Amino acid sequence: MRSSRLTSFVLLAGAVTGGLVLEAAEDPVTTPGATGVEAGVAIPAATPPGTLSSTWYCAGGTATEGGFADHELLLANPTAEDRTATVTVLTGDIAPSPSPPEEGIVGETTTTVAEPTTTTAPVVTTTTTIPPPIEPLVVDIPAHSRTEVALREIVDAPLAGAIVEVDGGEVAVEHQVTGDGLGRATAPCSTTAAREWTFPWGVTARGARELLVFMNPFPDDATIDIALATDEGTRQVLRLQNLVVRARSVVGINLAEDTRRDQVSAQILVGSGRLVVDRIQTFDGTIPPYEGMTLGLGAPTPAETWTFPDGQIDEGVTEQVVVYNPSEAVAEVEVEVRLDEPDVNGVPEPFELTIPPQQFSLVDLSEVDAGLAEGEPKRIPNGVAHSLIVRSLNGVPVTAERIVTSSAPSAELGVSATLGSPVAAPTWLLPGGGVSAEREEYLTLFNASPDDTARFGVSALIDGESVALDGLQDLEIPPGGRRSIRLSDHSDAEELPLVVEADGPVVVERGLYRIGGRGISQSMGIPLAVDVIVPEPVEG
Amino acid sequence: MEPHPPGAEAPDDASLAPPPTVPAVVAVVVARDPGPWFEEALSAVAGQDYPNLSILVIDAHSAGEVKRRVSAAAPGAFVRRLDEDPGFGAAANEVLEVVDGAAFYLFCHDDVAPAPDAVRVMVEEAYRSNAAVVGPKLVAWDDPRRLLQVGQGMDHAGYGVPVVERGELDQSQHDAVRDVFTVPGPCMLVRTDLFGEVGGFDEGISDFLDDVSLCWRAQIAGARVIVAPDARVRHQDSLAQRFGYDARRRLQARHRLRIVLSCYRPIGVMRAVVQTLVLNVAEVLYGLVAGRRKRVGDVVFAWTWNLRRVSQLHAARRQVQSFRRARDREVRSSMSKGSARLNQLLRGQLGGGDDRFTGLARSGRDVAGVLRSGTLRASATVWAVVAIVYLAGSRHLLTRGVPAVGEMVGLGSSPLDLIRSYTSGWRTAGLGAEAPAPTAFGLLGVLGVASASAMGVLRTVLTVGMLPLGALFAYRLPGPTGSRWAQIACLLTYISIPLPYNALANGRWGALVLYAVAPLIVGMLARASRVAPFGSDTGGDDEPLEQRARRGWTGNVLALGLTTALVATILPVAVPVLVVMALGLSLGGILALNTRGTVRMIGTALGAAVLAIGLHLPWSLDFFAPGTTLSALTGASRSAQPSDLAALLRFEVGPLGSAPIGWSVLVAAVLPLLIGRGERHTWAVRAWALALVSFGAAWAAQRGTLPVALPPVEVLLVPAAIGLALAAAMGVRAFQVDLPGYRFGWRQIASGLAAAAVVVGLIPVLGASFDGRWSLPAGDHARALAFIDTENDELPFRVLWLGDPAALPLGGWELEPGLAYGTTDAGAPRPENLWVGSDDGPTGLLGEAVDLARRGQTARLGRLLAPMGVRYVVVPERLAPAPFTSAPLPVPGALSATLAAQLDLEPIDAFEGLTVFRNQAFLPVRAGLPASADVPTDGGVAAALGLDLSSTPAVLPDEDGHLRWSGPVDDGTTVLLSAAHSDGWELEVDGEQIELAEPFGWSTGFEVADGGEASLGFRTPSSRYAIVGLQALAWLVVVRILVRRQLNPPGPGEKRT
């Protein structure tokens, strides 16, 4: 009996103890990544094959005669099946200007450097009534083709955005705005509506207009607060607090009416509801080197790594990187400039940035070598193409935007602002673009793999067929390298929606350049949400 | 004229006497194998000084010679012999056949001896008081100074309220003539016209309480009932001796119920039934506590006996109505206030008295005597404290109701709705299905009817009442050890375990029910094993061991199967849990190197499981149907907030159980493993093995390591709770039996620590009782969503619920671990939404639609849900919204983002913790589509994506009954019913049946060419009614067998048939 008692006691106690020890010995639960970067959310992405439907939100643009940003949709269907899209146009207006500015600053109520002041602001309704609903337009997108929809032909409104609902996947949607004398800017539409958006860059100085276009595609009103970060700290403008964006409408806010700064980062926090926010930045040429216009989404999600495949500085060509830290912690960030042919051009030291919460940091690649004596090797040599990689070193996610200006003596004139890509994928779609005597198009690919060579091919959707472009098949990109292609060397199609397919994760950027006039538009391609990866912030 | 009984044999010396000047009285003496006192009794009747008295002796088929004895003792008496003994009342009613012309009948048992002037006094008082029924003062046969009865009062439930204490010394203190409700039955004077009018004694009452019935009906007829104490009658009280104590009590119970059911008017009888039911429940509980199964059996027998005689009851009620002159209110005014039975129960509980004649004084003496007994005093004290703590801890739930959180859904307002849901062949959960309904609908419906539609009270009893019920069964579990201290330890340990309070706080009704019954189940399994002390060397506390052993395997299976079936009504997974419990106990036997009884125990469990499954047929087949996932049985249960093993060992799956006090239960349960010997040690190891199996299952469920869906962790931990409580009880028994065999040392210290742990473990429970609701939220989602019903008025719609299974106030289907969906018709969940069965079939389309949105395949979830009648999507992220609770039960963040990103779901302002979306693409559940609408007939859930049906009007607004609606329908309308396609749906327009269609490939539709008045309904197949009848019959048969076995145990050597 004594032995049986001991045996049973040991067994029972052992079972309990064993369980406790087993549990204690297990690895602690790992917390999920801080950012949760996801294709389709952090960056617009085409839905995979077999998808029931896909929805795109194109917020910014005008839809009236003589509008400064004539809004046009570009829908590309790279599949072998016809698709149908339902385009629902939402209209709105630009919010009225605030009271006349005093002492040169318009409407500012508080100014802080480190900590933003919380103010109780009255609710500002941007429109008194919800715009009447507009009958949706059903458009066909034949297989291997592109369909263009000019919103001005559907509605007449100061501002018009569109919801594009496609009856399947793999379709990509871009939109472009064209301004009289400002050129044309093309960018992907959004595949998400988010509760937070950041725009690292923005200029509200005289001669510039930074128009944020808020599109609320949902049946409930949304409220937003906009915080502006300048070189003097965070500014909260009364007009931009508790702003109501009515259901199924768009509204534009011209930040230049509230503050005048050479660099403004904007952070939009959506209190209730969800929004899509585009930025239309225009310059009338009074503040060199800026001239022309840009179009682009904000960043709905910060990330630890942003990749910019293309870059170059030269005479008349400037390049800046603005990194914004939307979080509550200090971000330690590194900006790596990866020059072509590093054996020849060298490997420049990365730029290291310390960015306080809700603040930005700007790296002007054109100015970093300004103090060098003549003959000394430049850190970023002129005329050497490069890629940029912005990475957070301490895990605090940031948003990063690259600004390129081109003015005399450069042949191209204009300005472009492009958010980097937080992801890499094997397949990218580029609905817009085309080459002609007046327009040049470049395609730049970056191999996100530090170890493997990427092989890729480019095909175009021409006349209902997918055409493999000559000379653009089975090309290679070295690990971590880049490759730039001038498309006019391979095609002369004025409408040139492209599909880039690689055997590994790459990042694809497109540049559109007007010849003989203003107009530079650079933007990331649209990845197909298949085999998407999020690059590690620190190279293995 | 002297009455002459024509059918009776004339006395030998019958002679022509001079015409009397006083009313004729016929003494009717019913003789039934009278004892030696008979001659003395007859002589006393014959010796009356009343001048016009005849005697009729009814010989109720006595075995012995009666006529000769009558002739000797009362030469002038008539004798009428019956061929059988129909009982006193029916025998006495013979007087109506054989006597004519009398003014009064004096009904006498054969064991009463009236004083010489008794009849005269009663007749005089009858005239003086204008009374129709007069009773004497009944005194003891052998000691006439002792009072037996001087009439008695009556409470509303038919329980007597004695005027005197039985055996009280007669000092003329009760000698005033007074109105009473009943007079002493052994001797009573009744006016003949009244007796004839009321039809004599109620022949449905064979013995006992026939006097009560007669007096009650006399008062209904408007007659007065008095007692004339100057008339003294000695009484032998042989009837009770002849029948035996148990039979007398049982007969009284059944006759009392018959009287109540037959004498009140309809409304009165309903009220009386409720009162009686409440009393009976209390009586049953008392019987269970006190170990008086026979008393429990009496209650059950009384109901079954009467329910079997419904037609007789109807006849009796019709007869009463035929002579009714007094309303119930007038009769009740002469009854006693309060409950006589409750008073007796309260006294009898402590005093051990079981006699309705027990007086207050005697009860008081008994109480004092009993309390001088140490263990009983301790038991009484513990139970009193437990009762106070439970009442205090549940006070707000008892007074303000139980909120509808978790599984504790509201039962609706009418039990008939539940019964209709039960009998109908259509399940409304999800998109509906033609499937058997859960037995719970029927059982809850019947209970609702029995509780006079007091559904709120019933729900409170079935939820909060599980706490004391579990305590009660836990107290009873170690009864066979013969140690009341072990019982107390088991009770205290069981109630100190945080599990039930956490289960209540988490809204886990099923776990509560299992907690209540688990000790009973373990006890039955233990008895099935026949391992000492549950089987071989000691008897139970109230049932001889031999008797239990004779019950055999069949009896154990029946009892355990019925118990399990009852639990499975609320918690279907109880059936496999039963088997696991048996396996756990058996594993303990192996660990203790004592496998005796293992096969019997497992065999009994398996048999009981099969029986339980059988009793739930055809519902139980639902769980085995193709396509049914295991979660349909277990529930979509895994919460998003897992507990670690240490927390599980402390039962900390809710607000209670934190360390260090939470460990006390384990400490207390360790003792028998250290000091126990023999059977104590064996059962302690068995109990611990049961607990560890339970802990292991809960741990696996929380970690998701098993590839099968497991029940809620609260359910999984119940066997652990009872295992530890049983171990603690064995520890006490070991302390009593084994410890004295050891020298003083660590074992004594360990015993002290264990005892202290039991006490310390109670502290959190005491603390938890302060809020009066055991941490249950004060409100629920239904309250917060009341606006939904208001907003929709008569628009038929569904609500889709999405959230953590622990947060959903209904049963759901799992989308992924920690995320489930369910539906309700309109806002508040009902029982139909709790046991939802499988989502195989069209209901699964709801989940498919949500999945499509979650995978980013659509931003038009509202359109996908529109054909399903879903107007609202509700996402609870707490058990109840703010401010009722703050504990989060979040849904995956991606789901919130998905819903917020839908273009046709409009967020609605709601309480914190509750997110509500209104579907702007909503289609009413009964919609009238124009014929031009191009509704696809296939394509599954995605078929609706391209359709905008949001402006479709509702049709058939008038509800004509369960699953039946009507209203006008226009020409060229397609009536679309958002329910799974079934041939059972029928639409008639102006009497013409419309052909059934299948819109969307799963729905139900009718294309109406020529409009008119339409009626839509579900036709329940007749086979469904037959199945329901068979199921009810099966339950009744099992109950009947068990009751009969309980009430009529076989004698030694007798074999059951």
ipTM of predicted complex:
0.86
Residue of B587, B645, B908, B918 to mutate for A, most A C-beta atoms under 10 A: B645
List, in sequence order, every beta strand (DSSP E) within B412-503.
426-427, 433-434
pLDDT level of residue B338 (50, 70, 90 thresholds): low
Residue A12 with chain B: CB contacts under 8 Å:
591, 673, 685, 688-689, 692
- Going from the C-alpha of B353 to that of each of B298, B343, B348, the distances in angstroms are 16, 12, 4
Residues of B engaging A, defined by a Cβ cutoff of 8 Å: 591-594, 644-646, 649, 673-674, 676-678, 681, 685, 688-689, 692, 695-696, 699, 852, 856-860, 900-907, 920, 942, 945-946
Q: How many angstroms separate the CA atoms of B567 and B564, rounded?
A: 5
**A300 in reach of chain B (CB within 8 A):** no
Query: pLDDT at residue A130 above 70?
Result: no
Task: Verify whether the Cβ–Cβ distance A19 to B695 is below 8 Å.
Answer: yes
A316 neighbors A290 (Cβ within 8 angstroms): no
Neighbours of B706 (CB within 10 A): 10
Q: How many angstroms separate the CA atoms of A428 and A511, rounded?
A: 14
Neighbours of B198 (CB within 10 A): 23
B651 neighbors B699 (Cβ within 8 angstroms): no
- Going from the C-alpha of B192 to that of each of B55, B90, B124, B128, B133, the distances in angstroms are 15, 16, 15, 17, 10
Instruction: Give B973 to chain A, closest Cα distance, Å.
Output: 25
Q: How many angstroms separate the CA atoms of B130 and A430, rounded?
A: 111
Q: How many angstroms separate the CA atoms of A55 and A173, rounded?
A: 9
Q: How many angstroms separate the CA atoms of B98 and B105, rounded?
A: 12
Q: How many angstroms separate the CA atoms of B273 and B450, rounded?
A: 8
| Mean pLDDT, rounded, for A300-321 | 93
**A17 in reach of chain B (CB within 8 A):** no
Q: What is the pLDDT of residues B404-436, one digit of tens each?
A: 888 888 888 888 888 988 998 888 888 888 888
Average pLDDT value over all residues in chain B: 84
**A223 in reach of chain B (CB within 8 A):** no
Helices H / strands E in chain B, number of each: 39, 30
- Per the structure block, which two tokens stand in for B265? 């008017």
Sorted by sequence, the CB contacts under 8 Å of residue A192 that are 6+ apart come out as A40, A41, A44, A57, A276, A300, B901
| Mean pLDDT, rounded, for B150-167 | 84
pLDDT of residue A411: 81
How many CB pairs below 8 Å do chains A and B form together?
88
Give the rounded percent of residues in chain B with a pLDDT score beyond 90: 31
| DSSP state letters, A97-142 | P-SPPBTTB-SEEEE-SSSPPP--PPPEES-SSPPPP---EEEEE-
pLDDT of residue B268: 81
pLDDT of residue A114: 42
Q: How many angstroms separate the CA atoms of B125 and B188, rounded?
A: 13
Q: How many angstroms separate the CA atoms of B1011 and B1004, rounded?
A: 18
pLDDT level of residue B629 (50, 70, 90 thresholds): low
Rounded to two decimals, the pTM is 0.74
Query: pLDDT at residue B662 above 80?
Result: yes
Backbone angles phi, psi at B773, to 5 degrees: -150, 15
Q: Which of A167, A219, A274 sits opposite B904 (nearest CB)?
A: A219
A446 neighbors A482 (Cβ within 8 angstroms): yes
pLDDT of residue B272: 80
| Mean pLDDT, rounded, for A265-270 | 93
- Flag the least confident range among B7-11, B477-481, B708-712: B7-11
- Going from the C-alpha of B745 to that of each of A106, B670, B737, B750, B753, the distances in angstroms are 87, 17, 16, 9, 13
Q: How many angstroms separate the CA atoms of B94 and B236, rounded?
A: 24
Q: How many angstroms separate the CA atoms of B664 and B680, rounded?
A: 21
Residue A11 with chain B: CB contacts under 8 Å:
591
- Flag the least confident range among B385-394, B634-643, B665-674, B676-685: B634-643
pLDDT level of residue B247 (50, 70, 90 thresholds): confident
Exposed, middle or buried by CB within 10 Å (0-12, 13-18, 19+), for B240? Answer: middle
Q: What is the pLDDT of residues B796-828, one digit of tens each?
A: 899 999 998 888 888 888 888 888 999 988 778
A58 neighbors A89 (Cβ within 8 angstroms): no
pLDDT of residue B893: 79
Query: pLDDT at residue B767 above 80?
Result: yes
pLDDT of residue B374: 62
Cis status of the peptide bond prior to B6, with omega within 30 of 0: no
Query: What crossing angle do the helices spanning B245-263 and B310-323 adopt, rounded to 10°?
Result: 60
Q: Which helix (H) or strand (E) holds A92?
A: strand A83-94
Residue B644 with chain A: CB contacts under 8 Å:
23
pLDDT of residue B836: 81
pLDDT level of residue B277 (50, 70, 90 thresholds): confident
pLDDT of residue B359: 38
- Flag the least confident range among A126-135, A254-263, A368-377, B696-705: A126-135
pLDDT of residue B626: 66
| Mean pLDDT, rounded, for B683-706 | 89
**A273 in reach of chain B (CB within 8 A):** yes
Residue of B nearest to A39 (CA): B856
Query: pLDDT at residue A188 above 90?
Result: yes
Residue with tokens 């009467």: B306
A191 neighbors A57 (Cβ within 8 angstroms): yes
List, in sequence order, every beta strand (DSSP E) within A478-518.
482-486, 498-514
**A540 in reach of chain B (CB within 8 A):** no
**Mean pLDDT comparison of A32-36, B924-928, B1045-1049, highest-scoring range:** B924-928
A528 neighbors A77 (Cβ within 8 angstroms): no
Rg from Cα positions in chain B: 34
Q: Which helix (H) or strand (E) holds A355?
A: strand A351-355
pLDDT level of residue A90 (50, 70, 90 thresholds): very high
Strand-pair category, A124-125 with A351-355: unpaired
pLDDT of residue A487: 92
Q: How many angstroms separate the CA atoms of B213 and B203, rounded?
A: 10
Coil vs helix vs strand at B820:
strand
Query: pLDDT at residue B361 above 50?
Result: no
| Mean pLDDT, rounded, for B446-450 | 89
Q: How many angstroms separate the CA atoms of B426 and B972, rounded?
A: 28
pLDDT of residue B936: 83
| Mean pLDDT, rounded, for B161-172 | 82
Exposed, middle or buried by CB within 10 Å (0-12, 13-18, 19+), for B445? Answer: buried
Q: Which helix (H) or strand (E) holds B254?
A: helix B245-263
- Per the structure block, which two tokens stand in for A173? 């949607």
Query: pLDDT at residue A232 above 90?
Result: no
**A370 in reach of chain B (CB within 8 A):** no
| Mean pLDDT, rounded, for B914-923 | 90
A301 neighbors A400 (Cβ within 8 angstroms): no
Backbone angles phi, psi at B317, to 5 degrees: -65, -40
- Going from the C-alpha of A116 to that of each of A196, A359, A399, B67, B837, the distances in angstroms are 17, 11, 19, 115, 54
**Mean pLDDT comparison of A330-344, B8-22, B946-960, highest-scoring range:** A330-344
Helices H / strands E in chain A, number of each: 2, 36
| Mean pLDDT, rounded, for B719-745 | 88
Q: How many angstroms separate the CA atoms of B740 and A322, rounded?
A: 84
